[in-house]
Amino acid sequence: MISNKELKKYNKKNSHSYTFSMFPTFELLQNKVQYVEMVLLHTNVSKENRKKVYDICEKNNIDITINDHIIERIRDKDNCLLIGVFRKYSCELVHNRNHVVLVNPSDSGNMGTIIRTCVGFGIHDLAVIEPAVDIFSPKVVRATMGALFHINFQSFSSFEEYYKKYGNERKIYPFMLKGAVALDEIYPENVPFSLVFGNEATGLDDGWLDVGKSILIPHSKEIDSLNLSLAVGIGLYEFTKKVKSPDKKYQCRHNSCG
């Protein structure tokens, strides 16, 4: 059990993290309640939201602490009235599902937006190649709007380590400025795929041209590249409208689908 003295500004070395604000905290309570240590409640929380919190916490024997001072000490914004305190946890990816692979992502906002986008397009498995931004950072958690608690994520020291475990009978598609095939010309086979994206600053180097089938997202020459989270969103849109996820849980709703 985490004590009140341990509740300080987030530190990557800690064994716990936080959800700041209402929506991510409710997502945590509804989807990963087994990892929740306590809930911190500000006195300014509305009666309606207070009742929702109490109902969930009482049902799951979760401690509720009403303490404005602790919340003000650890929150990152003044409008945060509800904080979930949860233990960090590990996951493994599902072999027969589609994956997104991020190679050395460094921006918290991009990471959070990508996780939310993955869930939006029915992708629930994310591989992260280290070094990378801390996925448990409250900034990442906030940017996901609670989508973090809907996915499996796993870190790897290298892409080779990821491929050794999950690459068998899987199609690999690195997204690159020098990609061999334009995104709108790709018609993936109905087997699990991995969409691979590089760092915000450097992307994927030329060595990735020999890995799987490299993909280019065509865009105007007036810019040098697309934002990482936008590129992931475009890639997921195109792939998920053409191929149903192998687990068949995601029903494609795009008008261009047959």
The pTM of the full predicted model, rounded to 2 decimals, is 0.90
**DSSP class of residue 208?**
G
Q: What is the pLDDT at residue 68?
A: 94
Share of the chain above pLDDT 90, in %: 78
Alpha carbon distance 99, 171 (integer Å): 10
Cβ atoms within 10 Å of 194's Cβ, excluding its own: 22
- Which helix (DSSP H) or strand (DSSP E) does residue 181 occupy? strand 181-182
Q: CA triplet 149, 202, 141: central angle to 5 degrees? A: 15
CB 112 within 8 A of CB 144: yes
Structure tokens at 122: 């029915």
- Which helix (DSSP H) or strand (DSSP E) does residue 47 occupy? helix 47-59
3-state secondary structure of 133: coil
Peptide bond connecting 131 to the previous residue in cis, omega within 30 degrees of 0: yes
3-state secondary structure of 71: helix
Chain centroid offset of residue 150 CA: 9
Q: What is the pLDDT at residue 255?
A: 41
**Mean pLDDT throughout 85-109?**
96
Handedness of CA 213, 218, 223, 226 (dihedral sign): negative
Does the pLDDT value for residue 256 go beyond 70?
no
Residue among 69, 72, 66 nearest 41 (CA)? 66
Chain centroid offset of residue 227 CA: 16
Does the pLDDT value for residue 29 go beyond 90?
yes
Instruction: Quick: pLDDT tens for 132-183.
Output: 999 999 999 999 999 999 999 999 999 999 999 999 889 999 999 989 899 9
Q: What is the pLDDT at residue 254?
A: 42
Q: What is the pLDDT at residue 225?
A: 85
Q: Tokens 């589609």 map to which residue?
A: 98
CB 250 within 8 A of CB 120: no
